[in-house]
Amino acid sequence: MRGGKPLDVALALGPAVFIVIALRGALTGADWPLIALPLMLSFPVHIADLMRRGMLSKST
């Protein structure tokens, strides 16, 4: 695949997709759970992306 492995692409773009979904909900007046849920889901995907890239060590 030219752009990279599918998992790498999904982990790189996943947090941004979740944040844009939350932004859309906020701008259209959605209930707060529909805004909070994508924001909460973006964080573990972002951490998984950092761990996969080796930018986040498991021990501090």
**pTM for the predicted model, two decimal places:** 0.82
39 within a domain of the structure (yes/no): yes
> Does residue 1 register a pLDDT over 70?
no
Amino acid 4: pLDDT? 73
The number of distinct structural domains making up the chain is 1
Per-residue pLDDT tens over the stretch 2-59: 667 999 999 999 999 999 999 999 999 999 999 999 999 999 999 999 999 988 776 6
Task: Flag whether 1 is in a domain.
Answer: no
- Is residue 60 assigned to a domain? no
Residue 16 lies in a domain: yes
- Please report whether residue 58 resides in a domain: no
Whether 25 maps to a domain, the answer reads: yes
Give me the domain span that covers residue 23. 6-53
34 domain-assigned: yes
Is residue 59 assigned to a domain?
no
* DSSP letters spanning 8-52: HHHHHHHHHHHHHHHHHHHHTT--HHHHHHHHHHHHHHHHHHHHH
